Structure 1
Amino acid sequence: MIAVLAIQAGSAVFAAPPSFAVPTSTAGQLLQQADDLRSADAPRFAQLLEELQRRQGELDDLQREKLRYLAAFKLAYGGSYPLAIPQLQSLHATARDPRIRLRAGSLLVNLYTKARRFSDSLRQLALMQPDIDRIEDINLKATLLIEAAYLHIEVGEYRQALAYVQRMRGLSLLARDVCYANYLEMDALYRSQQLLQSTADIRRSINQCLQENEPIVANSMRTVLAHKWFDEGRRDEAVSLLSSHVADVEATHYAYLIAEFKALLARLMMEKGDLPAAETLANEAIAQGSSMPASYSVVDGYQTLYRVAQARGDDEQALVYFRRYADADKAYLNEVKTRELAYQMVQHETAQNAQKIKQLDDQNQLLRLQQQLERQATQNTRLLVVLMALLLGGLGVWIYRTRRIQRSLQKMAQTDLMTDTCNRHYFTDQAERMLAQCAATGEDAALIMFDLDHFKNVNDRFGHAMGDWALKHVASAGKHVCRRFDVLGRLGGEEFAFLMRGCDLQSATRLAEDCRARIAAIDTSETGHSYPITASFGVASTASSGYQLSRLLSHADRALYRAKHLGRNRVCVHEGAATSHDEDAEPVFASAELGELRLVSSHGAKNFRMPHA
């Protein structure tokens, strides 16, 4: 969903502010006006900052700190994170005004999150947790809680985000902060599939934000409402809602909002069959989201362009967009995993720090006991033994726990937690080792790559929980085909691969066909939904592709895309001259379906029967 604060709006917002007449005011009054307007009226805010820079001599030291904060805010709003972050770090470390120090730290949490530096963001928030608990300024406490909730939404910890929102509810909030609290709660509930608010309640929240001159938050709520209607099948209402507010969204200059707004509207227009509108909106969403790391709006936009090309019968362009969609989807899924890993790592660091503090307390206690031993000479020997036992026992427990945590982190780094198979990095490492061994002994090996067909439709129609269920069962089907010394890994999204040692091309093709049949036989009725699960397979062997993993992956990937092109739910084999290592040599594919193998090349085709595995 949309980032909660209007920070990354694009550099054009402040590039050339219009000329406003500045009434005669003291520099202190202008400073307060600029602070009040920082996210509500960007051009006026920029003009006030220019005036304040000329009148710095009229400000005292604390007011200059506030001006430094607002200047960093302007950089952040314009998307200049590398410039804004050092200034905020300096303010947070040196500011004499505690309010400015806390506001700088709060904005750092926001910017680290937008820059996808989740570890830094979580560490910064951990440093500020004591301030959240003891600060008396309600408005500043609300700001810190807003950033904490936003960060936990972004890392997928929705329950913790809702807990921060509930802490906000316990304060006497300004109407503007109530607007933010309503949006954060709505966003967290929608993402966790718990949003039960009525349309009337959501519209009341939108109107409240508009009254408080918060158009970004109001339109973010409209986006959530449109998503909700889309999920409920109320697509015409969703189109009407979004279409009537495109100009309002563009006027915010807020890239996150514009990208998601137009990506969703493009998907809705595609559903209605308005291909030109869908294409235009998808391209605009991609343009807005391309500067943001791993944006789901880019994923959604490329999927819409792929569907538009399919609907027009332009297979060549559809393949181009499908590959871009697949690349963007992989990048997005990798970022999701990075968020989860960052959260786990910072949680582990926090636990370690707490454990170190406890150890220091234990050591202090031991020293006090040792001093008592010195005063009690008659009990020295006995008490010393007790102390050493306590110290060694505590150290042993700490070493044991640390090693358990290290083993757990190692498994997390090597395993795809969703499917309990090798992740891409570990699969690559293991596969290269196996291929090196096979090359040394002259042993055959084969690579099987497969990708689920129309998997995005499963997520869109039935939700990500059903998609997760399908991925787990597909991985289970693959494990039944693998032998104990084979390597099975999830390369990303819905793409998997096997590397099979001592297996020639024909045997690998039979195993691939067996796996394809197992996947196609998965019964989805237990989920409460009925939908087919199929996969397209590409097979390559060392006999024709050599022992380089990159070459095997490339050839298997070509065969896989051939299987997609021929209609999906089938196995295609890459075959080439055994002695050729020319990447530009003409590939020969074989397609296996229902027990028949069909060789495909530019020189013709022939059929021969392939026995079942």
Structure 2
Amino acid sequence: MPLMAATINFDEALAELEQLQHTDLPSAITKLHELEADFEHMTRFQQGRLLVFKGTSFIYAGQYQEALVTLIQSENLVQNSDYLFSAYSYEATAYIALRNFKDAFVVMSKSLGLIDRIENIDIKRAAYLRLASLYSAMGIKEEVGSYAAKAESLASADDVKDICTAKLYLSVYQLELEAFTKAFDEFQYTHDFFESNGFPLISFIALKGMGESKLRLQEYSAAVALLLKALKGYESFNFQLEINSVHSLLTEAYFALKQSAEVVEHAKFVTSLPNDPSYTELKHTVFKVLAGLNAENKQFEQAYEFSKKEQYYNQLMFDEAKMKTLAYQAAKFNADEQSREINLLNKERELYVAQQTVKEREYTNMLMFVTILVGGLFFLGILLAVGQMQKRKFMRMARMDALTGILNRGAGQELGENLFVQATARGGDFCVILFDLDFFKRINDSFGHGTGDWALKKVVDSLKSHIRNGDVFARIGGEEFAILLPYADEEKGMEVAEQCRARIEAIDTQHSGHKFVITASFGVSGLMADDLSLDPLFHRADMALYAAKANGRNAVVRYSDILKCDKQATDLRRHIASPSV
């Protein structure tokens, strides 16, 4: 064996393995097993590369826990930033499949920390494409489009492969935006390029996208043909997660074509999958189709049972979306600080690995003693850094409202006061918007507190994307919220408040399981010359809010001098409190 191992050029063999993973997965698995037999004869870096490829093969097979164990082992072996980035990004893929979004964002943050250190444009472009893939799996549409566009901007006219890959993720972005015709055209462009240039796996991904686009365009026969072709391609790669997804899409297409036997065949494949978080959305789709199929066949008892399962998985999806949102907000809230900490930890890791390498090469007792001592000091530093990260994490949690994921009253007011001081010191405007959900108690009394919580979260979700990054959005009471607008005058505040009011009124409540209308009343107050803190603005906005309530609710009212009168304010409050209103 040693003589045979000495004749192998492992760098060339690993490069061949990397190419096979994109073109011929069965051959890549065979090559991987052959190289594993010579693992002990490789350098540490070569061992690390092999473990990255092994972890990737576990992901294709749907063995996510095994993938994590292997990829984490590879981290200490690959000192090169390029392969360390690959290890982190594939770890994130495994965590996402296991619905561990918190740890997924942690390793994605580590990946982001490495990008600035990558000087090779080709490698940096590939890194942006990998991040687009991860954010696509997380369902964060804006980031998918952002990183795909960054990758495309780094490509020259000769980088056709990367341009097409970027277009693939931009196609996914268009699909999420429900621009199905445009998505189909871009998926087709991507598929044709990769199929003709020998990259079958990516061409099958694009083919599935074409099928899903046709499905959403209600061109069901065309969708079935494309999806069956994609399924056959995925089966050749044993890409289990995508195989399961295509079966789920086929149940929808066949149901629309009223081909019951095919619906049952593909649905049986998905329903037989284990109760794993990665299959939640697929099972929700299939049970919804089965409920509809049995209802059409007048098998109402069976339809009812499938409908209950659909509702169960729908709740799991709702909880999962909540976890994604909270994890993403927590990661974004301290992104700059985490990036600095991660860079520091990576530098310490590199120095530690360098010390370990020296220890392996030097055999004198004195150098070994010094190396162990230095290693211990760095280990202590890492422990202290981890402790600080945990402390900051709990501080961030204390600032967030547990139900809605936005700032709570204390954190919102503290941040608002700081922004108020900055804005007024620079001679800028400041505006405060307070709003309160109308007849919220009726929702709780009529449908239960669970539906009330749903309504609060839905209101926040519908407004978050409409609020600027520099503004403050906080929950300050049960159903009362505040939006603070630095450098915005009262006119801008009225415009924002009216847009928010319309968005709340447009909320579709059917997904809560009940049918009702959500509206809100808004009070707006801008900065006055003698305001020294936020308190006067809050007070005036509060008076305007009560005026909006008195004027019939579902309205936006700005503060005016006519509201100054304490008697009128008292009358407004008494009017609001009246049972007849």
Change in Cα spacing, 1:153 to 1:317, as seen in structure 2 (3 Å) is same
- Cα distance in 2 for residues equivalent to 1:36 and 1:354: 32
1:181-207 CA deviation, whole Å, 9 max, x = no partner?
A: 222111122113345527444322111
User: Alignment partner of 1:283: what SS?
Assistant: helix
Distance in 1 separating the partners of 2:442 and 2:119: 60
* CA drift at 1:352: 5.8
- For 1:178 and 1:299, how far apart are their aligned partners in 2? 35
The aligned counterpart of 2:175 is 190
Tell me the distance in 2 between the aligned counterparts of 1:317 and 1:196: 36
1:254 matched to 2:207: no
Once residues 408 and 482 of structure 1 are traced to their aligned partners in structure 2, the CA distance between those partners, rounded to angstroms, is 26
Q: Specify whether residues 478 and 83 from structure 1 end up closer, same or farther in structure 2 by C-alpha distance, changes over 3 A only.
A: same
**1:321-351 deviations in Å (ceiling 9; x for gaps):** 1111111111112111110111112223436
Q: Structure 1 pair 315/40, CA: closer, same or farther in 2 (3 Å)?
A: same
Structure 1 equivalent of residue 20 of structure 2: 37
2:191 equivalent to 1:206: yes
Map residues 128-527 of structure 1 onto 2, 5 A cutoff.
128-172=111-155, 174-194=159-179, 197=182, 199-288=184-273, 290-293=275-278, 295-350=280-335, 409=400, 411=401, 413-415=402-404, 479-480=441-442, 482=444, 488-490=449-451
Which of 70, 80, 104 is the aligned partner of 1:87?
Answer: 70
| Equivalent residues of 1:333, 1:493 under 8 A apart | no
Amino acid at match of 2:17: A
Assess if the C-alpha contact under 8 Å between 1:135 and 1:141 holds in 2: yes
Which of residues 23, 35, 59 is equivalent to 1:76? Answer: 59
Of residues 125-134 and 39-48 in structure 1, the stretch that sits farther from structure 2 once superposed is 125-134
Report the secondary structure of 1:202's partner residue. helix
Residues in 2 aligned to 1:199 and 1:129: alpha-carbon distance in whole angstroms: 30
Partners of 1:489 and 1:254 in 2: CA distance: 39
What is the distance in 1 between the residues matched to 2:444 and 2:47? 67
* Match of residue 115 from structure 1: 98
The answer to whether the 8 Å contact 2:92/2:105 transfers is yes
The answer (yes or no) to whether the contact 1:294–1:335 under 8 Å persists in 2 is no
Task: Trace 1:524-563 onto structure 2 (pairs within 5 A).
Answer: 535=514
The offset of 1:267, in angstroms, is: 1.3
Q: CA deviation at 1:148?
A: 1.6
- Structure 2 unmatched ranges of 5 or more: 1-6, 343-391, 407-436, 458-502, 517-581
RMSD: 4.1
Aligned length in residues: 383
Rounded to whole Å, the distance in 1 between the matches of 2:443 and 2:155 is 61
Structure 1 segment 7-46 matched on structure 2, within 5 A: 26-46=9-29
Change (3 A) 1:143 1:126: same
TM-score by length of 1: 0.54
Give the whole-Å Cα distance in 2 for the aligned partners of 1:259 and 1:492.
33
Aligned to 1:3: none
Q: What is the DSSP-based 3-state SS (H/G/I as helix, E as strand, rest coil) of the residue aligned with 1:73?
A: helix
Change in CA separation of 1:295 and 1:54 when aligned onto 2, cut-off 3 Å: same
Report the CA distance between 1:303 and its aligned residue. 0.9
For the structure 1 residues 66 and 195, does the alpha-carbon distance in structure 2 shift closer, same or farther, using more than 3 Å as the test? same
Q: In structure 2, do the counterparts of structure 1 residues 355 and 92 end up closer, same or farther at CA, with 3 Å as the change threshold?
A: closer
For residues 335-386 of structure 1, the C-alpha deviation after alignment (integer angstroms, 9 at most, x for no partner) is 11110111112223436658999xxxxxxxxxxxxxxxxxxxxxxxxxxxxx
Tell me the alpha carbon deviations over residues 475-494 of structure 1, each in whole angstroms, 9 at most, x when there is no partner. 9787435569x962239989
Q: CA deviation at 1:143?
A: 3.1
CA distance in 1, matches of 2:511, 2:22: 48
How big is the shift at 1:272? 1.8
For the residues of structure 1 that align with 2:104 and 2:449, how far apart are their CA atoms?
34
**Does 2:73 align with 1:99?**
no
Percent of aligned positions that are identical: 17
Structure 1 residues 133, 193: CA separation in 2 closer, same or farther (over 3 Å shift)?
farther
> By percentage of residues, which structure has more helix?
2
Distance in 2 (alpha carbons) for counterparts of 1:251 and 1:221: 16
SS at match of 1:489: helix
CA distance in 1: counterparts of 2:10 and 2:227, whole angstroms = 42
Q: Secondary structure at the match of 1:154?
A: helix
Deviations 1:70-121 (A, max 9, x none): 2333333333332332332243245333433232223223222222222222
CA shift, 1:535, in A, is: 4.5
What amino acid is the match of 1:155?
M
Task: Give yes or no for contact 2:82–2:123 (8 Å, CA) kept in 1.
Answer: yes
**Cα distance, 1:405 vs. partner?**
6.4
Please say if residues 286 and 298 of structure 1, whose CA atoms lie closer than 8 Å, have aligned partners that are also in contact: yes
Letter in 2 for 1:339: K
1:34 offset after TM fit, Å? Answer: 1.2
In structure 2, relative to structure 1, the CA distance for the partners of 1:489 and 1:201 (3 Å cut) is closer
| 1:51 is the counterpart of 2:34 | yes
Q: In structure 1, how many angstroms separate the alpha carbons of the residues matched to 2:259 and 2:395?
A: 56
State the one-letter code of the partner of 2:331.
Answer: V
Kindly provide the amino acid, as one letter, of the partner of residue 43 in structure 1. P
CA drift at 1:253: 2.2
* Counterpart for residue 375 of structure 1: none
SS in 1 for 2:449: strand
SS at match of 1:96: coil
Determine the C-alpha separation between the residues in 2 that align with 1:115 and 1:316.
33
Contact 1:155 1:343 in 2 (8 A): no
Q: Is the 8 A contact 1:294 1:331 kept in 2?
A: no
